[in-house]
Every structure is written in C-alpha cells, then in structure tokens.
Amino acid sequence: MIYITGDTHGTYDVNKIFKLKNALTEDDYLIVLGDFGVCWDNNGEDNKVRNFWNRHKCKVLFIDGNHENFDLLNAYHVSEWHGGKVHSLGKKITHLMRGQVFEIEGKTFFTMGGAASHDCGRGLDDFITDNLDQYHTLDWNAVSKNWNRHLNRDCRIPGRSWWAAEVPNPDEIAEAKANLAAVGNRVDFVLTHTVSSRIYRHLGFSPTEKPWNTGLIEFFDWIEDNVEFEHWWFGHLHQDFVYDKRHTGFYDAIKTV
C-alpha cells in the first residue's frame, strides 16, 4: 500500500500518522509532500525525527519542501531507486529528488520538491529581491558570513535557517522536462510541495508573492498544459482541500493510492 500525506515539519506535525495506528507494514510506503524536516540541525532535532520513523514499519519517502537544510540534504550520496535519483537517509527514509520519475507498485510518480518560504522576514525578503538576478549564482556562504547587519530585522539567516536551494534552479527544471519527455509527458501522479498559479489564485494568493519562485511556478503551469496525469498531490499550503478531480492539497489528511 502507498500512503500520501502533507508536511510533517520534523516531529511537529506527525500526530496525523497515529491515525494509521497499526495499519502500516514493512511492505507499505508513506510519501510526505515536503517539509519533512529530517535535515535541519544535524543534531538533536534530526535524531528525534529519525527515531520517530524508525519506530514505524513502513518505508518513508519524501520530497523536499522549503523548510529543509539543503546543505545537509544535498550532501547525501545520490543513487538510483525505482527509476529515479534519490538520497538514502537510512534503511527506512528516502528522499525522492527533484525532477524524477519513479515507478512504485506499478504506478509512475513525477516528483518536484521545493518552494519559496513565506516566513523569511523583511530583511531576507529585501535582500533576495535586491539580488534576484543573481539568486542561483550568488555565493550564499559569503552572504551568510556578513549577515550580522540584518539580524535586527527578525529574519531567517542564509546558511543557518534558510537556504537558496529551496527553489529549484534552471538545471533542475531542465532535467525535470527531459525526464518527463522520456516517458512521453505522461505519468500517473504528480507529487510537489507547492502548486501552479491557477491554484494559488483560486485560494486568493498571488503566485508571484515571492519573486524568486517565478521559474518554478511557470514550470508547474507548463506541466498543467503539457503533461498528462491522473492526479496531482501537493502540500505547503497547510490545508486539506480538493481543488478539482485532478488536484488535491494535503496537510493532516492521509490518502491511499
């Protein structure tokens, strides 16, 4: 059995898993749609997350969200699993990397993690906006070392509590398009953290509220128009809702595939 659910944020939003009680078995998969939170401080909180999932029998798969430590996550060895690239974080926890197509239990899943954070704070928002044309090329480690002048502005800090890699870069989007083309732009399911512009607008949000996510949203709009899929599942918005018969947002809900 394959189960799908929304953000778990480390151990903060895992109570939903207890709805499954003892239903999960070693043959089951649970897919978390971003903000999984197993890579954050490389210390106590991360160990709590690992210990929680190690107490469950199922295999845990996740796409990345925006609240991940991408320096830690992307340092893991890349291997191939079920047709796509993954990071293995142990026997039970697997990161489904961006722009991949996986075949699991006879179904194909396209995965594209990432999103723009809505809680960066004014200092970081302003800095990113002022340097938008360099977003994917800027030396963010150097920026982080000189960040003290922004600390009084109540914002996240590059390299410590925010990472520019939260948004896919052009190479990742190009790889995603190539992998979709290789399967004839047809998959059973699309798994993402954030969503296309039409769903943002449906919820009353501006899809370009954070300008550094423009390329990702445009890519998702391209998927809407060019890729055949049975259903698109996403997290990020902290709501459980059905947009239409082909799009569903998850937070606390859990669905079986």
Decide the pairing of beta strands 100-104 and 84-88.
unpaired
Distance of CA 135 to the CA centre of its chain: 19
Q: What is the pTM of this model?
A: 0.95
- Please give the pLDDT value at position 148: 74
Domain boundaries, the chain: 2-117+163-256, 122-153
Local confidence band at 60 (pLDDT 50, 70, 90 cut-offs): very high
Of residues 167 and 20, more confidently modeled: 167
Tens digit of each residue's pLDDT (9 = 90 or more) over 173-210:
999 999 999 999 999 999 999 999 999 888 888 877 79
Q: Which of 84, 58, 87, 85 is nearest to 71 (CA)?
A: 87
- Please give the pLDDT value at position 209: 78
Give the residue-averaged pLDDT of 109-118.
96
Count the Cβ atoms, other than its own, within 10 Å of residue 21: 7
- Please give the pLDDT value at position 136: 95
Q: Which of 139, 110, 59, 92 is nearest to 234 (CA)?
A: 110
Q: Which CATH class is domain 2-117+163-256?
A: alpha beta
Place of tokens 């990397």: 97
Count CA atoms within 13 Å of residue 125 on its CB side: 13
- Please give the pLDDT value at position 20: 84
- Please give the pLDDT value at position 203: 84
Tens digit of each residue's pLDDT (9 = 90 or more) over 64-90:
999 999 999 999 999 999 999 999 998
Decide the pairing of beta strands 2-5 and 254-256.
antiparallel
- Please give the pLDDT value at position 152: 58
